[in-house]
């Protein structure tokens, strides 16, 4: 990454909606929150989220396994857990690779 890269925030998304859609700033912020809440709630309930031409989010179960403390070399059990996985669509991957 170069020095010009930055992170897009909720406020940035709301500002973009405000500028491009014409809703008020408060309505734009509420809309962004509603979309993010819907995505989050869907994932928490165990369902996948697929956004056409962007990608898909899913929750995967990882089983218990044995890991190793890198400093001491001692083996420790890693408890089972859920992880969030994002898979970019081919359209998004192609767009990213065009920028290079």
For residues 25 and 74, what is the distance between their CA atoms, to the nearest angstrom? 53
Global pTM? 0.77
Q: In the chain, pLDDT over 70 holds for what percent of residues?
A: 94
pLDDT score recorded for residue 1: 45
pLDDT band at 99, cuts 50/70/90? low
Residue 39 Cα distances to 11, 31, 80, angstroms: 17, 12, 23
pLDDT score recorded for residue 5: 80
pLDDT tens digits, 34-57:
999 999 999 999 999 999 999 999
Q: Which domains does the chain have, with CATH numbers?
A: 1-47 (4.10.520.10), 48-100 (4.10.520.10)
pLDDT band at 81, cuts 50/70/90? very high
């Amino acid at each position: 990454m170069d020095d010009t890269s930055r992170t897009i925030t909720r406020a940035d998304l709301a500002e973009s909606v405000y500028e491009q859609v014409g809703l008020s700033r408060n309505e734009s912020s509420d809309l962004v929150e509603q979309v993010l809440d819907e995505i989050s709630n869907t994932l928490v309930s165990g369902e996948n989220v697929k956004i056409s031409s962007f990608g898909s989010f899913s929750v995967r179960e990882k089983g218990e396994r044995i890991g190793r403390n890198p400093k001491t070399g001692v083996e420790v059990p890693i408890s089972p857990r859920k992880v969030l996985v994002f898979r970019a669509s081919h359209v998004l991957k192609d767009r990213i690779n065009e920028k290079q």
